[in-house]
Amino acid sequence: MADAKVIPFDDDRSRGNRRRTKAESAPAGEVQPLPLRGAAASEDAREDDPVTPPAAPGPQTAAGDDGDGDGAGDGGLERRVAAGLSFLRRRLTGDYEVDDFGYDAELTDQVLMSLLRPVYEKYFRVEVKGVENIPAEGGALIVANHSGTLPLDGLMMQVAVHDHHPADRHLRLLAADLVFVLPVVNELARKLGHTLACAEDAERLLAQGELVGVMPEGFKGIGKPFGERYKLQRFGRGGFVSTALRQRAPIVPCSIVGAEEIYPMIGNSKTLARLLGVPYFPLTPTFPWLGPLGAVPLPTKWTIQFGEPIPTDGYAPEAAEDPVLMFNLTDQVREQIQHTLYKLLVQRRSVFF
């Protein structure tokens, strides 16, 4: 694996070689309608056969209903199949759009979220609180704690916003550059709307009215020992506060409980980490001792709580360059997240239930 370099969030270096803004299009064949079945097919047959008398009138049913009241008749199945074929045609012909960062809204909504949702709902059984604190429109910065050895908490936070926010908003996560050098992971992260954790990309997204998510602890958060669980690490140099001030975007604190226990990290092989070019190589009670089976996360019970937004539009434009103000706001966000974590831990009945 190539050596990875973590880019600080407040690094203002420019980013080149953006992804294409639209996939190349090719002539697409027209999807043929599926053959009629059931009552519709019988009606057509009677029109062509003058000998067959019309059927006796019966109880009315809804379009696409098979008479059992569940609305899942042949018509509904045909529509779903036709929609699926149309989706495949667009993917094969390149007739779909991605933005400047590589975000593919259609693929995310119809495929990627469908793959993450069972993990969110059935495996981790995530409970969401305070989602109404996220603004319904306009740019906003969600700041969350980071934990779990592998960054599954960011993905679960994305599903929480996507599925529960009343305005159907999508969260754009800022990720370390290690994510974008891994095969397959790089492509999936771009499709999901992730981008590099740098001030330039964050400001562009906020200026476009996007909802941006950042986890300032970085590798210090997800790679900390199990004995330090739910103790927030340093929040960098306050780059996320500076970005929010420049764009006058509110900051929404987010606290995640449950991710700390999915991979209890009891050790760190620094030698293997250097050889593999990764920030740490975790040793857990099951990994690497049980091989691939040891990489399966424990099915803990999660809670994600979004706190009340902290407004930034009341500060002067030059406030983004004030180090004292940035320190105070960073400390305020960190303390609010830490306080909520302790409160959620006191309320939690069990790690798994």
Mean pLDDT, the chain, as a whole number?
83
Residue 80: its pLDDT value, please?
85
242 three-class SS: helix
The whole-model pTM stands at 0.77
Residue 217: its pLDDT value, please?
95
- Among 68-77, 224-233, 235-244, 298-307, the minimum mean pLDDT is found in 68-77
Residue 73: its pLDDT value, please?
56
User: For residues 94 and 33, which has the higher predicted lDDT (pLDDT)?
Assistant: 94
147 pLDDT higher than 90: yes
Residue 84: its pLDDT value, please?
86
pLDDT digits (tens, 9 = 90+) for 292-340: 999 999 999 999 999 999 999 999 888 999 999 999 999 999 999 999 9
Residue 295: its pLDDT value, please?
93
131 pLDDT higher than 90: yes
Determine how many CB atoms are found less than 10 A away from the CB of residue 86: 13
CA distance 227 to 152: 20
pLDDT digits (tens, 9 = 90+) for 87-113: 888 888 888 899 999 999 999 999 999
pLDDT digits (tens, 9 = 90+) for 162-185: 999 999 999 999 999 999 999 999
3-state secondary structure the chain: CCCCCCCCCCCCCCCCCCCCCECCCCCCCCCCCCCCCCHHHHHHHHHHCCCCCCCCCCCCCCCCCCCCCCCCCHHHHHHHHHHHHHHHHHHHHCCCECCCCCCCHHHHHHHHHHHHHHHHHHHCCCEEECHHHCCCCCCEEEEECCCCCCCHHHHHHHHHHHHHCCCCCCEEEEECHHHHHCCCHHHHHHHCCCEECCHHHHHHHHHCCCEEEECCCCHHHHCCCHHHCCCCCCCCCCHHHHHHHHHCCCEEEEEEECHHHCCCCCEECHHHHHHHCCCCCEECCCCCCCHHHHHCCCCCCCEEEECCCECCCCCCHHHHHCHHHHHHHHHHHHHHHHHHHHHHHHHCCCCCC
Residue 75: its pLDDT value, please?
72
Q: Which of 17-26, 81-90, 154-163 has the highest mean pLDDT?
A: 154-163
pLDDT digits (tens, 9 = 90+) for 39-83: 444 444 444 444 444 444 444 444 444 444 444 456 788 888 888
Mean pLDDT across 142-160: 96
Residue 49: its pLDDT value, please?
45
